[in-house]
Homo-oligomer: A and B are copies of this chain.
Amino acid sequence: MPPPTPRNPAKPSGLDCRLAVLGSDVRLTPHRREVFDVLAGSTDHPTAYEILDRVKSRSPHISLATVYNCLDHLTSAGLIKLVHLERGQSRYCANLHEHVHFHCEKCGKVIDAHPAADFDPGKFWNLPAGTKIARTDLAIHGTCSACAAK
């Protein structure tokens, strides 16, 4: 007889292909997948509540608690990023390339901006020796070109 397959609920097959690609070990359940797809299809850095609204068109019974659960799992798996721009609701971003956020103080728009090729944030800040950088969160606030033109 064949030896029994060891049980390993953390690595199922099937739907979870995207996870293996990115080296993550979160299970991509249908809801997590929908939350991820909605965010990956958005460029406006939606809030949890906005994501709930968008996912509802496909899964009308999903709850806000599940959206938060999915966002937390996806964030700790490194599939998406959490963005804090101001007091109030957090925003989320599926752009994993190194980038920063420009926040227009007039219309509220949040757009991605990408660094010049030679940018190295560790070079420009006088941090004590031995400090290890895990990630940088830069938000640039100002007026977008559309608002500045008015």
- Which residues of A come within 8 Å of B, CB atoms? 82, 84-87, 90, 100, 102, 105, 111, 113-116, 119, 121, 123-145, 148-149
> What residues of B have a CB within 8 angstroms of the CB of A86 in the complex?
84
- Count identical subunits in the complex: 2
Report the Cα distance A121→B100, complex, angstroms. 11
Which of B100, B124, B135 lies in contact with A116, CB distance below 8 A?
B124
Which of B84, B100, B140, B149 lies in contact with A87, CB distance below 8 A?
B84
**Separation in Å of the A120 CB from the closest CB of chain B?**
9
**Separation in Å of the A75 CB from the closest CB of chain B?**
11
A137-B139 contact given A114-B125, A126-B114, A130-B145, CB 8 Å threshold: yes
Contact A141 B131 (CB under 8 A): no
Contact A131 B145 (CB under 8 A): yes
